[in-house]
Structure 1
Amino acid sequence: MTFIDKIIADFASFIWGLPLLILLIGGGFYLLILSKFLPFRFILHAINVLRGKYDNANDKGEITHFQALTTALSSTIGMGNIAGVAVAISIGGPGAMFWMWVSAIIGMSTKFFTCTLSIMFRGKDSIGNIQGGPMYVIMEGLGKSWKPLAIFFSVCGLIGALPVFNVNQLKQAINDILLIPNGVEVSFMSNLIIGIVLVLITATVILGGLDRISKTASKLVPGMVILYFILVLIILFVYKSEVPKYLALMFTDAFSAHNFKGDTFVGGTLGGLILLGIRRGAFSNEAGIGTAPMAHGAAKTNEPMREGLVAMLGPAIDTIFICTLTALAILVTGVWQTSDSNGVSLTANAFDNAIPIYGKYLLLICIATFSISSLFSYSYYGTKCMSFLLGDHNKHFYNYIYIASIILGATTSLNMMLNLIDSAFALMAIPTMISTLILAPRVLKEISLYKTKYL
């Protein structure tokens, strides 16, 4: 396992190199300029679309704008916001958060383009149902000669959609917060039992299909965001004198990299910090990766730009809002400097410091809700990829692979699972961003048509 862990870690470091950084961030910045900062100019209109003001039951698609966003958010608002931020802070210090913000701001533009395209170029699966996602955008928008790129995305998506990181961190939270403090011995067997329980919960929901997934997610996501928000506000109130200092430090440390402990990149620690922030930001909000377009591509709408506008709210909610709350909770309590913990355990220490006795248990409720809702959405992404590769009649086989991987996530190390998903996300970003950049001019025409009709 140590040998496999090293191979996966080395590959993750290799694939997350300068070319991918240029493709994700450079490409996203190009789209932001190309659209003349549209995500920020039309944010109020996007909120009205999300509220259902323009919903039409006769439009093509399976789910509403709101359900599409919550299905996408139930995968992005999850352990990336709790454990992913903790990993970023423990390695990069306060400055890592600034580069996660940069990733999110640029990611809003990327999400707008990728999800607009997912409606513009919806394709049909093997039984004639309308589907969306990068693989269909490539086939319908670029043509059948580009099919190898669509296949490449779908194969990588089968791995990227596995729930191993979320399960791994939920297991770690249960161990550190519930079992160990109460004298229960943590072992392979106890981890296996946790995995089996999660298998039973997940199988009940995901075998019900997208309708059950979207309805479950739309109920869970708003509630878990509110609960988590209240808990972090309590922490920030307890440590209110520290908040201004750390907000300022997020900016200053972003360029000095004084607290960075990771590997250098492009010759220096600042480069390493920037890469860390972008990598963790991409893991958190998935902008440019290609998962969200699969959920948004199923929305009931005949106006592609509407879905793009709804989708662009995702990185703002996910990274700028929720990740910042997590980062502040970890920073103001001081646990990032006094604890050797990493991942979700570091966040748990922060909650325990600020809200003794109850804090860590309330966090565990949030973590369980975040993780389990993420399990529902990722299974949908994987079955979409399997359907594209092997036909709709074979997509259900992915659910069995998916369910089995829950056991893997529950019984392996944090680093191995994090590097595995990081690697898959990096590979998925290549076809997603290439197709988006090529088809971007088509989105500009769609913007002009939409403005003429509605704005």
Structure 2
Amino acid sequence: MAEIDQFIADFASLVWGIPLVILLIGGGVFLLIYSRFLPFRYLGHSVEVLRGKYNNPDDPGDINHFQALSTALSSTVGMGNIAGVAVAIALGGPGAIFWLWVSAIVGMATKFFTNSLAVMYRGKDTEGKIQGGVMYYIVEGLGEKWKPLAVFFSVAGLVGALPVFNVNQLTQAINYILLEPNDIETGFMSSFIIGIVLTLITTVVIVGGLDRISKTVSKLVPAMVGLYFFSVLIILFVNHTEVLKYFTLIFTDAFAADNYKGDPLLGGVLGGLILLGIRRGAFSNEAGIGTATMAHGASKTSEPIREGLIAMLGPAIDTLVVCTLTAMAILVTGVWQSTDVNGVSLTAAAFDQSIPVVGSYLLLLCILAFSVSSLFSYSYYGTKCLSFLIGADKKKYYNYVYILSIIIGATTSLSFILNLIDGFFALMAIPTMISTLILAPRVMKAAKIYFKKYN
């Protein structure tokens, strides 16, 4: 197992090299400038669209704008925001959060382009149903000769969509917050039982398909973000004297890298810190990875630009709001320096310190909602990838593997799981960013027409 763990770690480090960083962040910066900062200029309009002002039940698609964003957010507003941020701070210190923010701001432009394309170039599966996603806009937008790139994305997506990280961290949270304080023995058996329970819950929802998934998560997502927001505000109020100090430290440490403990990049610790922030940012908001295009591509709309505007809200909510809340909770309580726990246990320590007795249970409630909603959405992404590869009539077979992976995620080490998903997210980013950069001029042409009509 140790050899496999090391192999996966080496694989993740290899694919997350300089070329991918240039493609993901450099490509995102290009799209931001090329669009003339359009995502930020039309934030108000995107909120109007989200509220349903332009909904038309006769438009093609399966779910409305709000359900599409909720489905996409349920897979990103998850353990990446609670455990992923904790991993980033434990390894990189406060400065990692600054580079997380940079990835989010750049990611808003990337999300606008990728999800506009997801609606602009929708295709049909083998059952004749309209589908959206990176694999479809590669084939429909670039032509059949580019299909190998679409296949590459779909194959990587089969692994990238597995719920192993969310399950792993939820299991760790239940063990750390619920079982161990009550003197219940934890280990393989307790984790296995948790995996079985999660499997049963997930099976009930995902068998119902996208309609049941979207309706479930559209109720869960706003509630879980609200509860988490309220809980962290309590922590910040309790530690209000530390807030300004640590908020400032995020900026200064971003360039000093005094608290970075990982491997250097390009001969320096600052390079390693930047890469850490970008990796955790990609895991948190998935901008440039392409999973969200499969949810937004199913949106009931005939205006691709409108869906792009909705999608760009994702990184803002996910990273600039939720990740920042987690980071500040961990920093102001000082647990990032005083404890040796990692992942979700570090966040739990922060909650427990500032909100005695009930704090860790509030976090566990948030984690349950975050994780379970993510389990529902990722199953949809995986079935769409398999449907593209071997036919829509066989997509149900992915759910069998998916359900099995829940038990694997519950009983496997954090480092193995994190590197596995990191690595395959990186592979998914390659076809996503290449095709998006090629098709970007078509998005801008459609945007000019749309905003001329809107104005």
Q: Where on the TM-score scale, by shorter chain, does this alignment land: which range? A: over 0.9
CA distance in 2, matches of 1:451, 1:325: 34
Q: Is 1:142 paired with 2:139?
A: no
TM-score, structure 1 as length reference? 1.00
Aligned residue identity for 2:316: A
User: Which residue of structure 1 aligns with residue 105 of structure 2?
Assistant: 105
User: Which residue of structure 1 aligns with residue 431 of structure 2?
Assistant: 431
Alpha-carbon shift at residue 187 of structure 1 (Å): 1.8
Aligned residue identity for 2:75: S
Alpha-carbon shift at residue 267 of structure 1 (Å): 1.1
TM-score, structure 2 as length reference? 1.00
User: Which residue of structure 1 aligns with residue 283 of structure 2?
Assistant: 283
CA distance in 1, matches of 2:441, 2:48: 26
CA distance in 1, matches of 2:391, 2:312: 30
CA distance in 2, matches of 1:315, 1:217: 18
User: Which residue of structure 2 aligns with residue 78 of structure 1?
Assistant: 78
Alpha-carbon shift at residue 452 of structure 1 (Å): 1.8
User: Which residue of structure 2 aligns with residue 316 of structure 1?
Assistant: 316
SS in 2 for 1:250: helix
What aligned pairs does 1:299-448 form with structure 2 within 5 A after superposition?
A: 299-448=299-448
Aligned residue identity for 1:349: A
Superimposed CA distance per residue, residues 39-59 of structure 1 (whole angstroms, 9 cap, x where no aligned partner): 100000000000000000000
Alpha-carbon shift at residue 190 of structure 1 (Å): 1.1
User: Which residue of structure 2 aligns with residue 450 of structure 1?
Assistant: 450
SS in 1 for 2:342: coil
Q: Is 1:264 paired with 2:264?
A: yes
CA distance in 2, matches of 1:405, 1:436: 31
Percentage of matched positions with identical amino acids: 73
CA distance in 1, matches of 2:48, 2:187: 50
CA distance in 2, matches of 1:193, 1:448: 54
Alpha-carbon shift at residue 213 of structure 1 (Å): 0.2
Bigger CA drift: 177-186 or 425-434? 177-186
Aligned residue identity for 2:109: S
The alignment's C-alpha RMSD in Å is 0.4
Aligned residue identity for 1:2: A
CA distance in 2, matches of 1:277, 1:348: 21
CA distance in 2, matches of 1:189, 1:341: 21
Alpha-carbon shift at residue 174 of structure 1 (Å): 0.4
CA distance in 2, matches of 1:69, 1:361: 28
User: Which residue of structure 1 aligns with residue 211 of structure 2?
Assistant: 211
Aligned residue identity for 1:250: I
CA distance in 1, matches of 2:370, 2:73: 10
CA distance in 2, matches of 1:290, 1:369: 23
User: Which residue of structure 1 aligns with residue 151 of structure 2?
Assistant: 151
SS in 1 for 2:240: coil
CA distance in 2, matches of 1:430, 1:248: 34
CA distance in 2, matches of 1:452, 1:340: 55
SS in 1 for 2:447: helix
CA distance in 2, matches of 1:197, 1:163: 14
SS in 1 for 2:63: coil
Aligned residue identity for 1:124: K
Alpha-carbon shift at residue 273 of structure 1 (Å): 0.3
Moved over 6 A (4+): none
Aligned residue identity for 2:138: I
Alpha-carbon shift at residue 14 of structure 1 (Å): 0.8
Aligned residue identity for 1:253: D
Alpha-carbon shift at residue 453 of structure 1 (Å): 1.1
Any unmatched runs of 5+ in structure 2? none
What aligned pairs does 1:288-299 form with structure 2 within 5 A after superposition?
A: 288-299=288-299
User: Which residue of structure 2 aligns with residue 122 of structure 1?
Assistant: 122
Aligned residue identity for 1:67: Q
User: Which residue of structure 2 aligns with residue 244 of structure 1?
Assistant: 244
Alpha-carbon shift at residue 188 of structure 1 (Å): 1.0
What is the total number of aligned residue pairs between the two structures? 455
SS in 1 for 2:60: coil
Superimposed CA distance per residue, residues 215-238 of structure 1 (whole angstroms, 9 cap, x where no aligned partner): 000000000000000000000000
CA distance in 1, matches of 2:249, 2:93: 9
Q: Is 1:177 paired with 2:177?
A: yes
CA distance in 2, matches of 1:179, 1:452: 58
Alpha-carbon shift at residue 299 of structure 1 (Å): 0.3
Aligned residue identity for 1:73: L
